[in-house]
Chain A
Amino acid sequence: MSSSSALVLCMDVGFSMSNSEPGQEPPFEQAKKVIQKFVQRQVFAENKDEVGLVLFGTDGTKNRLAKDGQYENITVHRHLMMPDFELLEEIESELQPGGQQADWLDALVVCMDLLQQETMGKKFERLNIVLLTDLNVQTSADQLDVIINSLKKAGITLQFFLPFPLDGEDRADGGGDGPGPSAASARPGKGLSSQQTQGLEMVKNIMTSLEEEDGLEEVHTFRDALEKLSIFKRIDRRPMAWPCQLTIGSSLTIRIVGYKAVTEEKVKKSWTIVDAQSHQRDDVKRETVYCLNDDDETEVQKDDTIQGFRYGSDIVPFSKVDEDQMKYKSDGKCFSVLGFTKQELIRRHQFMGSQVVKVFAARDDEHAAVALSALIRALDSLKMAAIVRYAYDRRSNPQVGAAFPCIKEKYECLLYVQLPFMEDLRQFTFPMLENNKKFTPSESQLSAADALIDSMMLVEKDEDGESVDVFKVNHIPNPQFQRLFQCLHHRGVNPDDPLPPVEPWLKRALERPQAVSARCQAPLQDVKTKFPLKVVVKKKEQKTSADVFGSSADEPDAKRVKVDEEMEFNLAEIAAGNITSVGSVNPVRDFCALVRQKTVSFDQACQQLTHRIEQLLGNRSPEYYMKSIACIQAFRDQSVSSGNAELFNSYMQSLKRSVPDRNLQEFWDLLIQDALTLISKDEVDGSTISKQDANQFLAFEQKEEVQAAPVQEDTGDVDDLLDMM
């Protein structure tokens, strides 16, 4: 039941691969990077595919077929297995240029042999060979037909990666879903040796006999490979099929199969928490406790809790059992047409959900194919779409969505996208922009905007008058993955090094194309002069925490006074000596008492206080912030008067570090408003903090409002099933 692929990387390390024009990276290095990137991704994305590595042009020979001077200088460096960290390390340290040349066709035969020998008895969905070479060697073409035939027979697919593009000129993009080769990097055609020219012909020959004209799309340049994940597309796991029936009314049924075609790919592996010293996961225990909302935080056993839901101001107890029994029940998977509507009534910006499903007729069912084709073509010519009820299965929530017709050169399908429910929409009204005297742009301003747009078009006409998209987002690999894998790789190899900077090619891929940047210089300057733009300097209202939470915590001033009174009142208690630790009810009072009493050391008192502060902050609720602020104020005051700045300052510094982590930004803002900063030299001699540092300490990078990612209901989707496999 394996759905993985087996793939052999076959790299030319012969001496010609090390040749390069001055200032250019030799093909060897480029090819090595391609392999590195590929293996890196396989390792960190934990793909189940098995990978072998064959080098040719090596000084030595190590392969099963070598005999009587045949298949020399070809080394099977690694047999088929799942790539691991070791392989990454080996590539980094052991993959060196060789001093020989070997026939790439021979190497191909060795790879085929390897694949056939080592996949015997195992089941693989796809077999693929990736050849990286400069073709700069004499090849004997007499075996070509035999080779092509056995490739076909074994169902092995082939990809070529060359330092130069296949054709003399750039080829327009196929325009399909997958990334194809586009703008060439190296200079084509020129300076190729006769072997290379001959080699190119053979490559074309092989690829077209394997897959007709599509085959040529699997010939890439090294540079393309780096930036476009070309290798992966070949061995990509295909999405899970979702067989269902499209129904129109009660009697018209068409057998269909859906596939998730576009969906946001997320990082799969999460970080675990380990102890900072031992790096052991088991040393860290996580505990979740339930407690009442009272001052003592009375703990409640989990078994003593039940679940409820808010219904306006009421909380309605509603047990899980009842909920399950009473909840909406859907009657299983469906793809039922509710009606048909004009495509223009479905707004692109109202697409919901996180995926697009492509719907085909059931495989090998030609009647279904004809029926679905009739629907697709009818919709297409009427510019209409079907509105359908879609339910993935019995456990999942039903959706209403649109099925659009999609007719491509090679196939037809429906594209299904979820549409909003009434509850999902927000009707906001915005002030009008046009015809608003204050904002109406003048004629000259409009023409500046016009010129800017013209200069920044990302679609250009090439020599043949074909428009070429110079910035295809769907060809850019998600930089998040690239960056994560790069850092994991780096840290794995060099555990003590700081993280490396973002790789230059990745940075470049995220920037505006250079040609466009150059073109828009002047129009942009024009916009700059014609539109006055000014950052509004806000008078930052001096708000104190009391102002912010004042209204919710009764009269602020009264409360302040009360605290003070209590502190005074406390002095009497101190005399009685009945305060022995910092309690949670009135930590400030207790702390001040302890410090005065000197029954415990100042250090200990502070420790107890910070423990309480941490507890209060753990609630992350505004009511407790006031109390925490009061604690910190008292901590600071007492520290200044005892001339001990160190404890306070180090606590504040650690608190600051934890702010982003614990989401305490709001609390920190209150500290800023109250100017509760570090104790400086000016206040306590022993402090190592200058007045200026203290003033700057509170400043944080401005953080934007964070909106929690919407919690997705578990709809039991294809991916879950895949993860189970």
Chain B
Amino acid sequence: MAEWRQYYQNEDDEVEEDEEDSGGDYKISGRDSLVFLVDASKEMFIKSEDGETSNFDMTMQCVRSVYTSKIISSDKDLVALVFYGTEQSKNPRNSFKHVYVYHDLDSPGSQRVLDIDKLLGEKGAQFAEKTIGSGETSLGEALWCCSNLYSDIKLRLSHKRLMIFTCRDDPHGGDGAKDRQARTKAADLKETGVVIDLMHLTKPGGFDVSLFFCDIVSPPEDESELGLQIEPCRKLEDLQKRVRAKELKKRSQSRLTFSLGEGVNLAVGVYVLARTATKPSAVKLHRDTNEPVRTKTRYFHAHNGGILLPNDMKRAQVYGKKQIVMEKDEVDEIKKFDDPGLVLMGFKPMDRLKLHHHIRPALFIYPEEEQISGSSCVFTALLLKCSEKNVFALCRYIPRRNTPPRFVALVPQREELDQSQTQATPPGFNVIFLPFADDIRTLDAHVGPTASDEQVDKMKEIVHKLRFKYKSDSFENPVLQQHYRNLEALALNMLEPEPIEDLTMPKVQMMDARLGPLAQEFKDLVYPPDYNPEGKPAAKPESGGGAAEKKPKAEISEEELKNHVANSTLGKLTVPVLKDACKQFGIRTTGTKKQELIDALTMQLSK
């Protein structure tokens, strides 16, 4: 089985490595920050045996992809790029030799991406040599410089990370004083809450972390991580994966109590691992200055013009002629059934989880030891047992206050690692939302003849020819991609946006080639010669529909309208008819929603 891209991509198509994460929608408690500290020594520029990329080039590609992904997903985060072991020096007070601050800590913008582009490839290496060069190395100085970058920032930083990219395991060549200085500076940084990671790259003879860097990097989050990343990165893909796993701080959407009953409670964090990424909403700008403007909404009394405070207003709904009024608090109270949390109802075998019971993207839960100690142990026991017995837990779920309950299936998911020992699926429960009776629609199923074995077998051949290995991250959203290309073009004054490749389009030619005569053979088996599936169905007049609909607008008399008002049957009229009626009576409506039109008419005609 081929993978999607390989399967459909022409050999010469360059594989696009845009990397995106949608993560910026959490409540912001401060900015995240990330410093890339990159070794610029000669060794970094040596090309790998199998040819193309040097470690430096690979690092730059990786940095670029983080920049572009930050622009899209978390544009408030701060990123810096610092080289060490350089010939030239450039830093805020120019107090450090052989340290070159290429980008100060700031949110990444279009210009910065262009700056990185200059460092890519063969030309990039030349450019790098000219501007930064390779020289003496003092990691201590470099770390010191970085700590200054952090302290120069006036914003509140919630998460501070520093990633060292190097292929030299003994950067100071045995100079004990420099080693010592680096250790001290690393310790200082860690003290101020900076997490230091090592992204070590391949080096002939192998990279020995224990030689020096083990004292520099932060201790792992838990024991498990230690074993995972002892191998240096060989491929860009691995490096990107490793960087991506660290780069995004995971935040829970909420922390909840998971009650098993009888006061047995554990704490879990709820995470969103997949959600529909949408175009960010537009910002309003002042025409003259391009400066952002804010909107303010306020309520005031129509007659005396006084500002209305929340207490001066109530909520109402109108049914026919009956207005039902409630306080805002009551409207909230109606939605309250219980306190937020997960409550265990029981367990069911996995086959009771129907494929078509889907109403929302899933969530993910993981224990929160800091809230209730012992949670992880119970959680793990349940996870192991549910998975072993092939059952899921059914829970009542209330995500926050004044929110009605939903039932969810907690589906066990055990940890899986990929070949490079990176976590492919995290351990925990997936939270699948289940539909209520209201969410399931009544359908009149179409019943027709079924296919013969011969026909099915032919289709099997077709399916066989067109199979590929689906991976959830194979498809980019063409709408979003186009949007960002457009912005990029405008921001960078490009003549026109770079074209996108729409991966959602079927590769028709390739499919036809793969199928060969199969498609025709199948058609011969199922369709009579004169059948044209692309044409309109043989004119079967839909009862009462069709042309009659497009008659000139049905004007409606005042009397009829009044009747409708009296019987509260206005709702039966269509929106265009209602709009016309409004026009007819000179009623100005603010909205175009059906209910608004009905309300307006009712008000006018019941006078």
Interface of A is mostly: mixed
- Contact between B438 and A348, CB atoms less than 8 A apart: no
**CB-contact partner of A491 in B254, B324, B438, B574, under 8 A:** B324
- The CA of A676 and the CA of B44, in the complex, are separated in Å by 58
By a CB distance below 8 angstroms, the chain A residues around B545 are 1
- Contact between A249 and B426, CB atoms less than 8 A apart: no
- Contact between A312 and B371, CB atoms less than 8 A apart: no
**CB-contact partner of B290 in A300, A317, A349, A382, under 8 A:** A317
**CB-contact partner of A524 in B262, B312, B326, B515, under 8 A:** B262
Nearest-CB distance from A394 to chain B (Å)? 13
Q: Which chain B residue has the least Cβ–Cβ distance from A705?
A: B254
**CB-contact partner of B266 in A304, A358, A533, under 8 A:** A533
- Is A150 located at the chain interface by the 8 A CB criterion? no
Enumerate 14 A-B pairs (CB-CB under 8 Å) in ascending A order. Answer: A265-B438, A288-B296, A297-B294, A311-B487, A368-B533, A370-B526, A374-B451, A404-B355, A408-B445, A419-B475, A423-B21, A423-B476, A428-B426, A499-B334
**CB-contact partner of B435 in A264, A377, A398, A413, under 8 A:** A264
- The CA of A338 and the CA of B273, in the complex, are separated in Å by 25
Chain B positions 87 through 125: 1 when the CB is less than 8 Å from some CB of chain A, otherwise 0: 000000000000000000011111010000000000000
- The CA of A452 and the CA of B391, in the complex, are separated in Å by 12
- Is B250 located at the chain interface by the 8 A CB criterion? yes
By a CB distance below 8 angstroms, the chain B residues around A249 are 506, 508, 511-512, 515, 519
- The stretch that binds A, out of B138-146, B171-179, B381-389, is B381-389
**CB-contact partner of B380 in A259, A433, A701, under 8 A:** A433
By a CB distance below 8 angstroms, the chain A residues around B53 are none
- Is B605 located at the chain interface by the 8 A CB criterion? no
- Is B539 located at the chain interface by the 8 A CB criterion? no
- The CA of A182 and the CA of B414, in the complex, are separated in Å by 36
- Is B488 located at the chain interface by the 8 A CB criterion? yes
State which residues 349-386 of B face A: CB under 8 Å: 349, 352-353, 355-362, 364, 366-367, 370-386
- Is B49 located at the chain interface by the 8 A CB criterion? no
By a CB distance below 8 angstroms, the chain A residues around B477 are 397, 421-424
Chain B positions 188 through 203: 1 when the CB is less than 8 Å from some CB of chain A, otherwise 0: 0000000000000000
**CB-contact partner of B396 in A427, A430, A510, under 8 A:** A510
By a CB distance below 8 angstroms, the chain A residues around B290 are 306, 308, 315, 317
By a CB distance below 8 angstroms, the chain B residues around A1 are 544-545, 549, 574
Given the known A-B contacts A84-B319, A347-B472, A535-B371, are A257 and B376 also in contact in the complex, defined by CB atoms under 8 Å? no
By a CB distance below 8 angstroms, the chain A residues around B281 are 711
- Is A248 located at the chain interface by the 8 A CB criterion? yes
- The stretch that binds B, out of A127-135, A231-239, A634-642, is A231-239
Q: Which chain B residue has the least Cβ–Cβ distance from A43?
A: B319
**CB-contact partner of B311 in A276, A364, A420, A428, under 8 A:** A276
- Is A229 located at the chain interface by the 8 A CB criterion? yes
- The CA of A725 and the CA of B23, in the complex, are separated in Å by 39
- Contact between B353 and A275, CB atoms less than 8 A apart: no
- Contact between B415 and A348, CB atoms less than 8 A apart: no
- Is A508 located at the chain interface by the 8 A CB criterion? no
- Is B430 located at the chain interface by the 8 A CB criterion? yes
State which residues 378-422 of B face A: CB under 8 Å: 378-386, 389, 391, 394, 396, 399-401, 404-405, 407, 411, 413-415, 422
Nearest-CB distance from A351 to chain B (Å)? 5
Given contacts A2-B572, A264-B439, A271-B326, 17 further A-B contacts (CB under 8 A): A248-B466, A248-B519, A276-B312, A327-B486, A374-B525, A420-B276, A421-B277, A422-B472, A430-B250, A456-B346, A459-B352, A487-B334, A512-B344, A527-B264, A527-B378, A531-B377, A724-B574
- The stretch that binds A, out of B205-213, B455-463, B581-589, is B455-463
Given the known A-B contacts A446-B384, A536-B370, are A308 and B508 also in contact in the complex, defined by CB atoms under 8 Å? no
- The CA of A459 and the CA of B348, in the complex, are separated in Å by 6
- Contact between A313 and B505, CB atoms less than 8 A apart: no
Shortest 4 CB-CB contacts between residues of A and residues of B: A369-B448, A312-B71, A349-B430, A480-B404
- Is A202 located at the chain interface by the 8 A CB criterion? no
Nearest-CB distance from B106 to chain A (Å)? 7
Chain A positions 463 through 476: 1 when the CB is less than 8 Å from some CB of chain B, otherwise 0: 00000010101111
- Contact between A4 and B572, CB atoms less than 8 A apart: yes
By a CB distance below 8 angstroms, the chain A residues around B296 are 288-291, 297, 618-619
Q: Which chain A residue has the least Cβ–Cβ distance from B28?
A: A622
- Contact between A456 and B347, CB atoms less than 8 A apart: yes
- Contact between B378 and A533, CB atoms less than 8 A apart: yes
- Contact between B443 and A349, CB atoms less than 8 A apart: no
- Contact between A384 and B355, CB atoms less than 8 A apart: no
Given the known A-B contacts A288-B296, A307-B282, A534-B373, are A248 and B439 also in contact in the complex, defined by CB atoms under 8 Å? no
- Is B15 located at the chain interface by the 8 A CB criterion? no
Chain A positions 490 through 529: 1 when the CB is less than 8 Å from some CB of chain B, otherwise 0: 0110010001001000000010110011001100110110
- The stretch that binds B, out of A53-61, A90-98, A105-113, A434-442, is A434-442
- Contact between B533 and A433, CB atoms less than 8 A apart: no
- Contact between A412 and B283, CB atoms less than 8 A apart: no
- Is B130 located at the chain interface by the 8 A CB criterion? no
- Is A260 located at the chain interface by the 8 A CB criterion? yes
- Contact between A318 and B276, CB atoms less than 8 A apart: no
- Contact between B436 and A433, CB atoms less than 8 A apart: no
- The CA of A397 and the CA of B504, in the complex, are separated in Å by 11
- Contact between A366 and B449, CB atoms less than 8 A apart: yes
Nearest-CB distance from B319 to chain A (Å)? 6
State which residues 597-645 of A face B: CB under 8 Å: 614, 618-619
- The CA of A531 and the CA of B299, in the complex, are separated in Å by 54
By a CB distance below 8 angstroms, the chain A residues around B107 are 312-313
**CB-contact partner of B322 in A289, A402, A492, under 8 A:** A492
- Contact between A238 and B436, CB atoms less than 8 A apart: no
Nearest-CB distance from B364 to chain A (Å)? 8
By a CB distance below 8 angstroms, the chain B residues around A154 are none
By a CB distance below 8 angstroms, the chain B residues around A272 are 315-318
- Is A305 located at the chain interface by the 8 A CB criterion? yes
Given the known A-B contacts A85-B319, A123-B544, are A262 and B276 also in contact in the complex, defined by CB atoms under 8 Å? no
- Contact between B262 and A525, CB atoms less than 8 A apart: yes
By a CB distance below 8 angstroms, the chain A residues around B526 are 367, 370-371, 374
- The CA of A236 and the CA of B159, in the complex, are separated in Å by 52
- Is A539 located at the chain interface by the 8 A CB criterion? no
Given the known A-B contacts A345-B469, A346-B470, A551-B154, are A658 and B309 also in contact in the complex, defined by CB atoms under 8 Å? yes
Q: Which chain A residue has the least Cβ–Cβ distance from B520?
A: A251
- Contact between A283 and B446, CB atoms less than 8 A apart: no
Given the known A-B contacts A286-B299, A356-B358, A440-B380, are A419 and B319 also in contact in the complex, defined by CB atoms under 8 Å? no
- Contact between B346 and A619, CB atoms less than 8 A apart: no
- Contact between B253 and A707, CB atoms less than 8 A apart: yes
**CB-contact partner of B475 in A379, A400, A432, A661, under 8 A:** A400
By a CB distance below 8 angstroms, the chain B residues around A374 are 451, 455-456, 458-459, 522, 525-526
Nearest-CB distance from A213 to chain B (Å)? 16
- Contact between B400 and A706, CB atoms less than 8 A apart: yes
By a CB distance below 8 angstroms, the chain B residues around A353 are 276, 361
Given the known A-B contacts A292-B293, A341-B468, A707-B254, are A528 and B264 also in contact in the complex, defined by CB atoms under 8 Å? yes
